[in-house]
Amino acid sequence: MPKFLVRWQVNPRTIPADPEQRAKLWMMLLERVKADVDSKAIIDWGIFADASGGYTIRETDEETLMAAIFKMNSYILCDVKPVLTIYQAKESLKKAAAKPP
């Protein structure tokens, strides 16, 4: 199953200036994340201490990943990178170094 690193940052244009409304929005977003963590859809999740962004690691297919990102799309901007394990990286290097037939 493919694994993805999703680096996310808050979209400042969509975050309310009112502290009470902002806290409500954050709680709603965090509940969505918690549901994905609890269901194991998210392998790891973290937020930067300044609350400007963070990261998520998911092991899923591209369509499921896009659907998950779409749920947060208005409030969160994402940069998605597929990642390889150490074993996959070693195999890739072996293939790259192999002489063509």
Q: Would you put residue 15 in left (φ > 0), alpha (ψ -120 to 50) or beta?
A: beta
Residues in the chain: 101
Domains along the chain? 3-97 (3.30.70.1060)
Overall average pLDDT of the 49-62 stretch: 95
Question: Could you write out the DSSP letters of every residue in 55-81?
Answer: EEEEES-HHHHHHHHHHHTTTEEEEEE
C-alpha span between 5 and 69 (Å, rounded):
12
pLDDT of 100: 77
Residue with tokens 């962004």: 53
Span 15-24, pLDDT tens digits: 999 999 999 9
% of the chain beyond a pLDDT of 90: 88
The span from the first CA to the last CA of the chain, in angstroms, equals 29
pLDDT of 73: 85
Q: Over 90: is that where the pLDDT of 49 sits?
A: yes
Q: pLDDT band at residue 9, thresholds of 50, 70 and 90?
A: very high
Q: Over 90: is that where the pLDDT of 42 sits?
A: yes
Helix (H, G, I), strand (E, B) or coil at 10: strand
